[in-house]
Amino acid sequence: MTAVAVGAGPRTRSHLGSGLSRLLVYTFLLAFVLYVLSPFLAILVNSVAEGWFGGRVLPAGLTLRWFDWAFNVTNLPKVMGNSFIIAGLTIAISLAIGLPTAWALGRRRVRARNMLMTLILLPKTVPPITFALGLSREFYAFDLVDTHLGVALAHTTLALPFVVLIMSATFEGLDERVLDAGRVCGGNWLRNLVHLVLPMAMPGLMAAVLFTFVTSFNEFTLTLVTYGPETLTLTVQTYLSIGDGFLEVASAISVVLLVPSVLLLILIQRQIRPENILGGVKGL
């Protein structure tokens, strides 16, 4: 959380130098951008292209057929609905577990704090497929496979670390004396929570919710072992379409899948800078 947004400081012109060195810098920048963006470009083109095979530089024609297929053949609305429902559930569960945990870790002296943190981070550090294997066995035992709740619970294991990390830092940044002031002013814990803690923690909370949403929405490995016909998500549907040999349909679904991530990226760019998350809290 100590990193400050790179673009925040005053820009200094001399940094890029002049002439040859500037040319070099721009060349590398361009190469990097192309490298990062080219897969997205490929998917975008693929989703509207007709006859774009082999060594062709440009597709033979443009069409919206693949989106049509995606919507009608693979029942995209329902799949999308599943993705949203599961993401929503994941947010709810992650916050329900994560907020009290983060409060305890951030504001109370917790014994074995580091061990707890490691434990929370564990699902993110082991190979996903290993974790998924164990998880699927449990889920079959508890009859959680192919339920929205089940998939959401699986996603929660990945989202929870985000929530705990972001929120414990946020809560840690709350000034105890300001909360003290709230109590002295006569606010009971509920009023102070609603009127003081919540607004002061809002930037962090927003970040936690958005990250949780994207984590769930984009999750693949754990979904693969917990989904069923009723809980098919966008990522799994993309995968299945690739398996079926419909690269164009898969691309069309991917484009839909990308929308929330891109929206989030824009939001982050605009709103959630590290200094806002903490700055909104430290006050003074």
Q: Segment contacting other proteins (CB under 8 A): 45-53, 132-140, 195-203, 210-218?
A: 195-203
Q: How far is the CB of 169 from other proteins (least distance, A)?
A: 17
> 3-state class of 12 per DSSP?
coil
> Counting contacts by CB under 8 A, is residue 283 touching other proteins?
yes
Residue 258: exposed, middle, or buried by beta-carbon count in 10 A (0-12, 13-18, 19+)? Answer: middle
> Counting contacts by CB under 8 A, is residue 196 touching other proteins?
yes
Q: Using CB under 8 A, which residues numbered 172 to 191 contact other proteins?
A: 175, 177-178, 180-188, 191
> Counting contacts by CB under 8 A, is residue 108 touching other proteins?
no
Q: Which of 220, 203, 231 minimizes the C-alpha distance to 86? A: 231
Q: Which of 77, 129, 195, 267 binds other proteins (CB under 8 A)?
A: 195
Q: How far is the CB of 276 from other proteins (least distance, A)?
A: 12
Q: How far is the CB of 95 from other proteins (least distance, A)?
A: 20
Buried b / exposed e along 95-126 (16+ C-beta atoms within 10 A): bebbbebbbbbbeeeeeeeeeebeebeebbee
> Counting contacts by CB under 8 A, is residue 111 touching other proteins?
no
Q: Which residues, in sequence order, are CB contacts of 13 under 8 Å at separation 6+?
A: none
> Counting contacts by CB under 8 A, is residue 228 touching other proteins?
no
User: Whose Cβ is closer to other proteins: residue 24's or residue 198's?
Assistant: 198
Residue 76 in tokens = 């995209």
Q: How far is the CB of 273 from other proteins (least distance, A)?
A: 17
Q: Which residues, in sequence order, are CB contacts of 83 under 8 Å at separation 6+?
A: 216, 217, 233, 234, 235
Are 189 and 254 in contact, with CB atoms under 8 Å apart?
A: no
> 3-state class of 188 per DSSP?
coil
Helices (H) and strands (E) in the chain, counts: 13, 2
Are 280 and 200 in contact, with CB atoms under 8 Å apart?
A: yes
User: Whose Cβ is closer to other proteins: residue 178's or residue 209's?
Assistant: 178
Q: Which helix (H) or strand (E) holds 247?
A: helix 247-270
Q: Which of 200, 222, 256, 278 binds other proteins (CB under 8 A)?
A: 200
User: Whose Cβ is closer to other proteins: residue 151's or residue 174's?
Assistant: 174
Q: How far is the CB of 278 from other proteins (least distance, A)?
A: 12
Q: Which of 39, 61, 134, 199 binds other proteins (CB under 8 A)?
A: 199
Number of residues that bind other proteins (CB under 8 A): 22
Residue 25 in tokens = 């810098």
Judged by the rule CB under 8 A, the positions of this chain that interact with other proteins are 175, 177-178, 180-188, 191, 195-196, 199-200, 280-284
